[in-house]
Amino acid sequence: MLENVEEFDMDKVIEEFESLTEDAERVQRETLKRILEDNASAEYLQSLGLNGRTDPESFKACVPLVTHRELEPYIYRIIDGDTSPILTGKPITTMSLSSGTTQGKPKYVPWNDELFETTMQTYQTSFAFRNSFTEKRISEDSVFLVRKGLVFDHSSISCASLVLSVIKVTWHSSGKLEKASEFPIKNGKALSFVYGSKQFQTKGGLAASATSNVFRSAGYKCGMRALQSLSCSPDEVIFGSDVFQSLYCHLLCGLIFREEVQFVSSTFAHSIVHAFRTFEQVWEELCTDIRKGDLTNNVTVPSIRMTMSKLLKPNPDLANLIRNKCMGLSNWYGLIPELFPNAKYIYGIMTGSMEPYLKKLRHYAGELPLLTADYGSSEGWIGANVNPKLPPEFATYVVLPHIGYFEFIPLTELENSKGEPDFLCVDPQPVGLTEVKIGGEYEIVMTNPAGLYRYRLGDVVKVMGFHNSTPELKFIRRSSLLLNINIDKNTEKDLQLAVEAAAKLLAEEKLEVVDFSSHVDLSKEPGHYVIFWEISGEASAELLSECCNCLDKSFVDAGYTTSRKVNCIGALELRVVRSGTFQKILDHYLGLGTAVSQYKTPRCVAPSNSVVLQILTDNVVSNYLSTAFS
């Protein structure tokens, strides 16, 4: 086990991490044994005939692979107040809500103290690696960065120059590496865009909320203080009942404590971009509040008003300084370091569905490094980012072998028409953590200490290498296909790449895609893909038609292009929506209980997700049909 939440010795955390990852297979066996012993009395496990066996072989033979759907009857009994040991030995008293943006509605997943403990262990591990010192040496022809046995060889990275520029290595004139920059943070504060989502009681009296279970846990503050990551905003702001008012006050607190802010963070990068887009709208109001020492009347929640009035004192100098800085920026480039001169980095999950926000985030960040946070879910954490210097595009997550029991369903490699590898799951026979192969793509199966056994998380990862004997995973995509009409199959990643390609055309006119989603329209034969775009300004019909054609051409999956050519799939349609439409979608999810810090824009809206589809449809201002295959 790693350190206690309150005590935190970075060297010890790294040492333990190295030792756990060196013997991952043994650690996995022990972890499984612990989980099965602790929950031996659970009805679910008893019904599967394990009869006290805790070895991986018996576990795999007796316990089926499941998705959330199969566990729902059990979860709903718990929610409805059945306190018998259903999924776990000790009764579950709290439920988490996953964001559920893929399915259209949040899902309940059991939460307990062990999950809080593993959350803090994951945070501690990546923090230790961000703050620890890196030794370096030079071999004959390649550069190694060595950190307590971890050898990171640049030659294994395809874009070495990008990596080198990001880690800011300094070269002597002799060509020798002198030092590698680190990310140590001293005593200070974090500007964290975190929000305690609504907590409510289920019918059976269980507490339920989204990620705020972590923020509400007794040890959270102590743990974050030890990680020097305490939020500069008071609890009343974090747990405020109105997300917009909380966001406004997070920004205000950040400005009041601007000298102390050591880094800017959120759980997912979307919240940081959302916060600074909001800053662009409200900065003058923020300056007025600081100048007068008086909070705007737009903040009405009494608890937030009371706490902010204690922090806010008239400070015309600060107001002028911020005003001058804002006025001096060109299109808000480098806003974050201007506002927070001592910030060392921006921190939050930046991979997967967050990648589309990287461009905007880099724009606000200027020269500040972007560090992706760890990899996990409401169901539990999976891996830590122990190579913080890698830019998000190259980030990997090292699986923590003691926080859950992990299996991997191999996705069989097939060749697509372009001779490139394409991955398809044909036989869901999972392999163990240490049996995965470098280069392979897998769907993750998780067994956690809170009642999920052989649970298909729905994420696809790629094994990029090993840290000692535990794999380093790159997040690839959600496993479900996003767009599919005929023999075509396009994933979230394919959509993202198509949008990126078409957005380049917009960028030539200094416009950007603020957010996007998609839909398969089967209302007319043949069905066709619809892409919804919110853009940052007015674009000409000519340019948008070009973007539409580019989107259509950018789906390179052979099933799609063939179907398009023979008109089994109709022309792709680009629908441009009014400014603020994606904010309305966010508001809708917040109303369902999703936490803003956990929010992921739904990248494909199914007909069953009728409210979101209606929001999009009601806000369409123009539409374009592709002529790319005419």
Residue of 407, 441, 459, 494 interacting with ligand AMP (CB under 6 A): 459
Residue of 125, 229, 377, 447 interacting with ligand AMP (CB under 6 A): 377
Closest CA to 380 of 110, 137, 128, 571: 110
User: Could you tell me the maximum CA-CA distance found in the chain, to the nearest angstrom?
Assistant: 71
Residue of 411, 452, 457, 577 interacting with ligand AMP (CB under 6 A): 457
Residue of 375, 406, 408, 533 interacting with ligand AMP (CB under 6 A): 375
By the rule CB under 6 A, 462 interacts with ligand AMP: no
Span from 375-383, 405-413, 511-519, 543-551 in contact with ligand AMP (CB under 6 A): 375-383
Least CB distance from residue 352 to ligand AMP, whole Å?
3
By the rule CB under 6 A, 98 interacts with ligand AMP: yes
Closest CA to 26 of 431, 465, 402: 402
Least CB distance from residue 477 to ligand AMP, whole Å?
8
Least CB distance from residue 169 to ligand AMP, whole Å?
25
HEC readout, 140-177: CCCEEEEECCEEEEHHHCCCHHHHHHHHCCEECCCCCE
Least CB distance from residue 488 to ligand AMP, whole Å?
23
Residue with tokens 């893929």: 102
By the rule CB under 6 A, 376 interacts with ligand AMP: yes
Span from 55-63, 158-166, 300-308, 344-352 in contact with ligand AMP (CB under 6 A): 344-352
For residues 87 and 210, which CB has a smaller minimum distance to ligand AMP in the complex? 210
Least CB distance from residue 384 to ligand AMP, whole Å?
10
By the rule CB under 6 A, 378 interacts with ligand AMP: yes
Q: How far apart are CA 353 and CA 136, in angstroms?
A: 34
The 3-state DSSP class for residue 215 equals: helix
Least CB distance from residue 61 to ligand AMP, whole Å?
27
For residues 105 and 148, which CB has a smaller minimum distance to ligand AMP in the complex? 105
Q: How far apart are CA 202 and CA 346, in angstroms?
A: 36
Query: DSSP letters along 516-551, please?
Result: EEEEEE-SSSSPEEEEEEEESS---HHHHHHHHHHH
Residue of 88, 94, 126, 351 interacting with ligand AMP (CB under 6 A): 351
Q: Are 424 and 387 in contact (CB under 8 A)?
A: no
Q: Are 400 and 121 in contact (CB under 8 A)?
A: yes
The 3-state DSSP class for residue 108 equals: strand
The 3-state DSSP class for residue 36 equals: helix
Query: DSSP letters along 408-477, please?
Result: EEEEEEEE-TTS-EEEE------EEGGG--TT-EEEEEEE-TTS--SEEEEEEEEEEEEETTEEEEEEEE
Least CB distance from residue 72 to ligand AMP, whole Å?
15
Residue with tokens 């309305």: 584
Least CB distance from residue 409 to ligand AMP, whole Å?
15
Residue of 223, 352, 369, 404 interacting with ligand AMP (CB under 6 A): 352
By the rule CB under 6 A, 123 interacts with ligand AMP: no
Least CB distance from residue 339 to ligand AMP, whole Å?
26
Q: How far apart are CA 616 and CA 581, in angstroms?
A: 7
Residue of 299, 349, 445, 502 interacting with ligand AMP (CB under 6 A): 349
Span from 13-21, 274-282, 347-355, 528-536 in contact with ligand AMP (CB under 6 A): 347-355
The CB-nearest residue to ligand AMP is: 352
> Exposed, middle or buried by CB within 10 Å (0-12, 13-18, 19+), for 630?
exposed
For residues 2 and 354, which CB has a smaller minimum distance to ligand AMP in the complex? 354
Exposure class string for 54-92: b at 16+ Cβ within 10 A, else e: bebebbeebbebbebeebeebbebbbeeeeebbbbeeeb
For residues 335 and 499, which CB has a smaller minimum distance to ligand AMP in the complex? 499
Residue of 28, 39, 88, 99 interacting with ligand AMP (CB under 6 A): 99
* R_g over Cα of the chain: 25
Q: Are 220 and 214 in contact (CB under 8 A)?
A: yes
Residue of 29, 250, 360, 478 interacting with ligand AMP (CB under 6 A): 478
Residues that bind ligand AMP (rule: CB under 6 A) add up to a total of 14
Q: How far apart are CA 493 and CA 497, in angstroms?
A: 6
By the rule CB under 6 A, 532 interacts with ligand AMP: no
Span from 53-61, 349-357, 499-507, 528-536 in contact with ligand AMP (CB under 6 A): 349-357
For residues 231 and 385, which CB has a smaller minimum distance to ligand AMP in the complex? 385
Q: How far apart are CA 584 and CA 563, in angstroms?
A: 34
By the rule CB under 6 A, 597 interacts with ligand AMP: no
Q: Are 568 and 321 in contact (CB under 8 A)?
A: no
Contact footprint for ligand AMP (CB under 6 A) = 98-99, 349, 351-352, 375-378, 457, 459, 475, 478, 598
